[in-house]
Amino acid sequence: MVRAVRDAHAAVSEMTAAPAIQTRDLTKRYGAVSALTGLTMEVPRGEIFGFLGPNGAGKTTAVKLLLGLTRPTAGEAWVLGRPVGDREVRRRIGYLPEMFRYQDWLSAREVLALHCELAGLPRNRWADEIDEALTTVGLAARANDRVGTFSKGMQQRLGLAVALLGRPDLIFLDEPTSALDPIGRHDVREIIRQVRARGTTIFLNSHLLSEVELVCDRVAVVDRGRVIALGTIPEIVGETRSVRLRLENPDSAIEAVLQRHGAVERSNGWYIVREIWPGAIPELVTDVVRAGGRILAVEPGQPTLEDRFLQLLRGVP
């Protein structure tokens, strides 16, 4: 008995201390087709992790493997410190699939009660779990309304509520803001941040790069079954590499100064200097002023995750 208790405590300690997700050379093949090839990554506890890639890149396959819905062809993976598919770990995971549909004739509360039963939650906790989930996603006032009367955004909120039942340590969200209007996307982002604030790790699978850029702590970019970039948004995107200047009556001497700092082009009254790093911009401004130039405005370029994403897919280092 003592040994069993000790082993149980050790298992709990291992699950609590380990990263939320670890994979090592995780591979999945369907016949001659490689859906995922050598996926190696680590997701620490308590962060919002974006998993990005074009259609067919292997994102959905990776999620299925991590959820234990399919088995890998090769490699290993651990979720919350235990091998994927572990039954106890599954109880601590929430999941919102991209394509889901609840019965129109059920109320929101009935949908959540059904999932409480499917998750094996103790019946005496159902009421509190349901109320908390509905409040978190902003559906408390519609708890007894039928799902068939819900808008797309409200159904997406209900799907999030299902994923939150049992206060999971890790939640997989597959395209949680797809088909939502700007207000709906904003509301879902706020819910995600609220859930992360209580210590939950969120694995966000999405192709909406602007959404990912606003909410994720780190991202992995996947293409053709492989991770081609992994890090924080600034690490992936890189630093500013261009600057725009609006000048008053520039002459050839001023243009020559600009050209010494990088490739120059003109657009709508602006001079754009490309391939210039942030630390070199003050020197550029100083050189222009010394040459007699009058600067009306300076705007460093702001690279986006979408820009870098497209570069990575084209093989630009």
Report the predicted TM-score, pTM, of the whole model to 2 decimal places: 0.80
Q: What pLDDT sits at residue 5?
A: 46
Lowest mean pLDDT among 23-37, 98-112, 154-168, 180-194: 180-194
Average pLDDT of the chain?
A: 88
Q: Which residues contact 14 (CB under 8 A, 6 or more apart)?
A: 81, 82
Q: Which CATH architecture has domain 2-236?
A: 3-Layer(aba) Sandwich (3.40)
CATH number for region 241-301: 3.30.70.100
Instruction: Give Cβ neighbours of residue 171 (< 8 Å, ≥ 6 apart).
Output: 93, 94, 95, 96, 163, 164, 195, 200, 201, 202, 203
Contact 227, 41 (CB under 8 A): yes
- How deeply is 151 buried, as exposed, middle or buried, from its count of CB atoms within 10 A (0-12, 13-18, 19+)? exposed
Domain limits, the chain: 2-236, 241-301
Angle among Cα 245, 251, 257 to the nearest 5 degrees reads 60
CA-to-CA dists, residue 124 to 134, 144, 198, 299, angstroms:
17, 20, 23, 59
Query: What's the angle, vertex CA 133, arms to CA 129 and CA 138, rounded to 5?
Result: 150
Instruction: Give tens-digit pLDDT for 251-300.
Output: 999 999 999 988 898 888 899 998 787 778 889 999 999 999 999 999 88
Q: What is the CA radius of gyration of the chain?
A: 25
Is residue 77 within 8 A of residue 24, CB to CB? The reply is yes
Entry field: residues in the chain: 317
> pLDDT per residue over 107-163, tens digit each?
999 999 999 999 999 999 999 999 999 999 999 999 999 999 998 889 989 999 999
Token couple for 82: 């235990």
Q: What is the largest CA-CA distance in the chain?
A: 88
Task: Using alpha carbons, list the distances in angstroms from residue 221 to 80, 97, 134, 307.
Answer: 22, 20, 33, 13
Q: Does residue 289 contact residue 280 with C-beta atoms inside 8 Å?
A: no
